[in-house]
Chain A
């Protein structure tokens, strides 16, 4: 097993840990952090597998993808945090409750 492969597997592990957190944790802040951990895992996979050629130079394209991905992740996180704060303002809690049935 070569070194890039170890990093790639580490990335997959991070992705799985994040997925577990996203599903299991209730607090929205933890869910948002879990999403970010998943994202970091994917970026690690991209960078690790970018060193696919035998030569010394890594492939630049995955690096460009990671930078784009980081920009997307930052804006998504900003939106999620703002939305969470608004939700806390309105409902007083940072947890999504399962449907309180039909109030009419």
Chain B
């Protein structure tokens, strides 16, 4: 049994299962919820299997169809890939359970095939080892994401989805042109081979610029975030959760991966530019979040500011430190859990009161204690208060900034934390007070309340799991090597 488990091709399963499940849910719309939940659970089990395999035998490597690197497609998984797959599985499970009760049968028939396609694309993205395959998976993720964003078919949702589509296609095209130039310079698209062969020439600089710009647009880095608030706020709640928690992280992961393995030694000034934009994103996103009167828009702007923290890693890591990279991985996971929980909470409140105006939350805390509790717990992680995953991530990042004497970063992170506290307490404050207008409240299904709470609790529990998670990140030593090698 043990032999069977460690020999199984978990990486292949992780891609095939959701694609097959998506196909089945398209063919048998009657059983769509059952097929969907079964597939997502099977994917979560496969991530556990892959994790077990990686811990015992090191990095996973598979040449699809036996072709091998230059001609065929290689699957590759190390600690960082496994970590991202875990984020997928955890958030995916939480949101899938929520979606069981959120969508009626008609909407569910459209939601599940697209969500499983998105999951397959994300898994494939985290398992890819060449930059062209990353482009293809990026497009699968982008197109599935746009489909999901337009799911509710309201004018606002279609408008948001259209903006999202334009931005995501432009980002992918910039990335693809960068790939073309890199291929021209090095004659390969394989990431390890590229790392060996690339030299500092003008085409490589152009490629670096194009790839960074394209991925920054897809990750909604300030000032390229213009499409995100509308697209994320106008989609239905589970979709917003998936887009904000998983999809923006996918393009950031590519940037991180390319940076770690290819570009790290050839980046005159680009790292500082990304860091400066990250700082601007933290401040601007938080200020915008504070001004919003709609809960979902507030949460979407909060995503803009939280993505800013991730970009602070580039200037810090230039001096080389394992803790900066692991801090970012930690922030990705904790933000994914906390933000998905917040969007699900917003879905509950909308279901309950029929609106998401922050000022009219009208004693939600008494009537939906579990939901508001979930929002508060997720807020603790977003603000970065101990004990939570967000705290560990921000603490590691802050520590690194202090060690390197980057006071500008320290101050911006502090201000960002205070502003986050301000917008989260604003919501909680209105949840306690009575609004002038009274609504006809509608009951919220228990599953929807509890799944939001579970995700928020997971974001808190992360604060106690630092050492096992660091162990996972160390597999394959991509992160460690780059840290030590500078």
Contacts and interface: CB of A to CB of B under 8 A. Distances in A.
Contacts of B183: 46, 49, 61-62, 65
Nearest to A35: B169
Contact of A45 (B70, B161, B177): B177
Contact of A91 (B136, B158, B169): B158
Contacts of A31: 166
B165 interface: yes
Given A83-B165, A87-B155, A96-B162, 5 more contacts: A22-B166, A49-B180, A68-B132, A83-B162, A90-B158
A19 B177 CA distance: 13
A59 B187 CA distance: 9
A80 B169 CA distance: 10
Contacts of B294: 102
Contacts of B166: 22, 31, 35
A49 B132 contact: no
A92 B158 CA distance: 12
B159 A96 contact: yes
Contacts, number: 87
A57 to B, nearest CB: 14
22 contacts: A15-B177, A35-B169, A39-B176, A45-B177, A45-B180, A45-B181, A46-B183, A49-B184, A52-B184, A61-B183, A61-B189, A62-B180, A65-B132, A65-B179, A68-B132, A75-B143, A80-B165, A83-B165, A84-B162, A86-B158, A90-B155, A104-B357
Nearest 9 pairs of A and B residues by beta carbon: A49-B184, A90-B155, A87-B158, A46-B180, A72-B139, A42-B177, A45-B180, A38-B173, A91-B155
A41 to B, nearest CB: 8
B323 to A, nearest CB: 38
Contact of A35 (B139, B146, B150, B173): B173
A17 interface: no
A76 B53 CA distance: 37
A83 B293 contact: no
A39 B173 contact: yes
A15 B183 CA distance: 18
A82 to B, nearest CB: 9
B77 to A, nearest CB: 23
Contacts of B173: 15, 35, 38-39, 42
Contacts of B187: 52, 59
B170 interface: yes
Nearest to A104: B357
A61 B187 CA distance: 9
Interface string A58-100: 0101100100110010011001100110110011000010010
A79 B147 contact: yes
A60 to B, nearest CB: 9
A37 to B, nearest CB: 10
B164 to A, nearest CB: 10
Nearest to B133: A68
Contacts of B180: 42, 45-46, 49, 62, 65
B266 interface: no
B129 to A, nearest CB: 15
Nearest to B178: A42
B163 interface: yes
Nearest to B292: A102
A3 B464 CA distance: 61
B159 A76 contact: no
A49 B139 CA distance: 23
A10 interface: no
B215 to A, nearest CB: 16
A9 to B, nearest CB: 13
A99 B230 CA distance: 9
A42 B176 contact: yes
A76 B143 CA distance: 7
B139 A76 contact: yes
A96 B227 CA distance: 12
Contacts of A69: 176
A90 B70 CA distance: 48
Contacts of A96: 159, 162-163
Contacts of B146: 79, 83
A24 to B, nearest CB: 13
Interface in A1-41: 15, 19, 22, 28, 31, 35, 38-39, 41
Nearest to A83: B162
B182 to A, nearest CB: 11
A84 B179 CA distance: 29
B61 interface: no
A99 B288 CA distance: 15
B426 interface: no
Contacts of A65: 132, 179-180, 183
A83 B161 contact: yes
Nearest to B147: A79
Contacts of A68: 132, 136
A79 B155 CA distance: 17
Interface in B64-97: 70-71
B153 interface: yes
A33 B424 CA distance: 42
Contacts of B136: 68, 72
B132 A83 contact: no
A37 B388 CA distance: 48
